[in-house]
Structures are given as structure tokens and as C-alpha cells.
Amino acid sequence: SIPATPVKDQHRSGTCWSFASVSFIESELLRTGKGIHDLSEMFFVRQAYLAKAVKYVRMHGTINFAGGGLTHDVFDIWKRDGLVPESAYDGLRTGDSLPVHGELNAVLSGYIEQVVKNPNRQLTPVWKEGFEGILDAYLGAVPDRFVHEGVTYTPRSFSDALGLDPAEYVMIGSFTHHPFYEDFIIEIPDNWSWGSIKNLPLAEMMSVMEHALKNGYSVCWDADVGEKGFDWKRGIALIPSEEIEDLSGLERARWDELSESEREALFYDFSSPRKEKAITQELRQQGFDNYRTTDDHLMHITGLARDQQGNRFFQVKNSWGTGNHIYKGYMYASDAYVRAKTIFIVVHRDAVPRSIAEKLGL
């Protein structure tokens, strides 16, 4: 496994995009010899909410406005504003020990909807001040300066001191509705900032992931977790084969006698290795086109593993805490699941094999 910081808990907030991205950055700091750091997720959440509100108003309320986001948001804010340690900004102003954003999301949404309705027939110049007042009340004002390990920093100078360059990271997907080896804006609701990704054939995207993990680079992973094969309790994600003959030990006559619920239970019984569906580029694209594959959740891939039969799995660090979990906050996604359900990945540009990097112009 690639070194990673402890698993955190996003709790009752739609901020996986920040937790996964921050975990990825923390692993990059470990990889580059910068030591263990606990960076603030809520710094990015607060800054993104303001940028999201400005875009929403500019677009007259016609884009998505919610707590969700993408790695693009973290990297854009990192480039513009810098980084902040958790000790300087934890975003916990409400007395909760973990993020609880239901009321915050509702209040911000209600406020910005009224701004867009424009009841004065002309927007006032102070609506942003009011919006920031809500953010400051619930999350806290972002510090201009803070002391960390005896040194005074600004968010910008702290980022500079850590020595990573956000421009050295690339976002990669695999879709046939855009040309391969070109950039395109990924069409998913949480891409409010209209961030782009680089497009590769499926086999090459998988090669990037494997090459990265085998050479000490972790991977930030945006994926669909709405499939029944995504079993958090058991710590596994699979795309089981739907062929009757693949259910070993079950006679066809017996299968015909089962109810729908019994058949489903057999399909998703992961107590032993299962044969999985063969995922092609076409099948993957079909899932995206028909909404079977959606942008649900960002996580952090930190290694490769094999099951009893030698099948490859990706070790995934989640942000749902560690309590009463079989793998203490980690899970294992099969090769088939990753092929089918990846929206996009983020890696350091040096993690991309040279032959593929040349095709992408890196």
C-alpha cells in the first residue's frame, strides 16, 4: 500500500470531493518526503461554496448548486488561495465534532435562490457579503494568517512551503462521446466549475492507474457507488456476472424456482470469489449514457491487491470513518468495477506512462 494519512469521516456532509482530494494531497506530501500533514477539508468547502454561488448567480440559477463538487474545485482553490492545516481551520462552528451540513446547505440554497429571483429588479452590491456571513457563521472565517508548528503562514505561503505544484496533476477519464487524447468538460451535475478531463481509451486509463500504483503514486478516484455490487459493509465492490451458468453449484431448474429477491441475494452474495461481467469500452459508455453510471462519490486509491483466485482489486480509502468496519475505512474494488464505474481519476503527471503522456501532450 502507498502511505496515507488516517481515515477521516465526512459524516453528514456531501463533501467527499474535498476529503478524497485532501487525502490524495496528503499522500503526495508523504511521497515527496514532506512528512505527515493534516490539511483542512473545510477550507476548500467554504471557498468552493462562495465561488459556486457567484457562478450560480452569473448563470441566473441554471446550474447545480449543492454541497457536492469535484477534485477540480480543490485544485482550483489550491492554485488560487493555497492550503490550510486542519488545526487552523476545522469548520466546526456549530458544536458538532464532525461535519453536519444539512442546515447549512438549506440556508445557503434558500439565500441564493432569493438573490437569483432578483426581487429588486437589480442585484444589490452586498449579496456576496450576506452569503459570506452565513459561511462565516457555520464554518468560520478563513484566517488571513495562522501559526503552524511555531511558524506564521498565510494560506499561500503555507502551500508554497509544502512545495507541491497543483499544475502537475492531471485528470483522466474514458468516454467515447468525445475524441480520445483530447480534453473535454465532463458532463456531470457536480461539475459546476466546468472542469475538464483528458480522454483516454479504457485500456490506457487502466494502464495509467496500474502504472501509478506500482510506482508509488496514489490515485484520486471519482466513481459511481450506487450499484448493488458496491457493498460498504463487506468492504468490497464487484460487477457480478449475470449469466445463470456462472452461479456455481446451482442447477438451472433450481434457479427457475427462486423468487426475484432470492435470485438477487445470490447475485450479490460476495462471501466467496465471484465471476464478474467482462467490461468493454462500449458497455462502460452505455452505463454513462443511460444513467446507470453516475457521479456519486470521490475516494482515494492507495494500492493493489489480489483475492484467493488471483483476481485484481484496487485498495480504496474512503471518508466514511472507521467505526465497526471490516477494513477500518478501506475497501476493495474489483478490476471490473473500476473499469465500469470510474468517472475520472487524478494522478501526478509523472505517474502517466511516457507513451501515453506523449499522446496527451504532457
> How does pLDDT run across 170-184, given as a tens digit for each residue?
999 999 999 999 999
Domains 9-164 and 165-239+276-362 share a fold: yes
First and final CA of the chain: distance in angstroms?
Answer: 27
Domain ranges of the chain: 9-164, 165-239+276-362
Give the pLDDT score at 244. Answer: 52
Give the pLDDT score at 8. Answer: 98
Give the pLDDT score at 205. Answer: 99
* 343 three-state secondary structure: strand
Give the pLDDT score at 289. Answer: 98
- Which residues of the chain register pLDDT less than 70? 243-256, 258, 263-264, 266-267
The residues facing 197 across adjacent strands are 184
Give the pLDDT score at 260. Answer: 73
CB 331, CB 232: distance < 8 Å: yes
| Fold of domain 165-239+276-362 | Cathepsin B; Chain A (3.90.70)
pTM score of the predicted model: 0.94
**What is the CATH architecture of 9-164?**
Alpha-Beta Complex (3.90)
Give the pLDDT score at 246. Answer: 53
Tell me the three cell numbers of residue 356.
501515453
Give the pLDDT score at 266. Answer: 67
Q: Which of 208, 230, 233 is nearest to 219 (CA)?
A: 208
Q: Which of 24, 319, 300, 339 is nearest to 166 (CA)?
A: 24
CB 270, CB 313: distance < 8 Å: no
What percentage of the chain reaches a pLDDT higher than 70? 94
pLDDT in tens, 16-35: 999 999 999 999 999 999 99
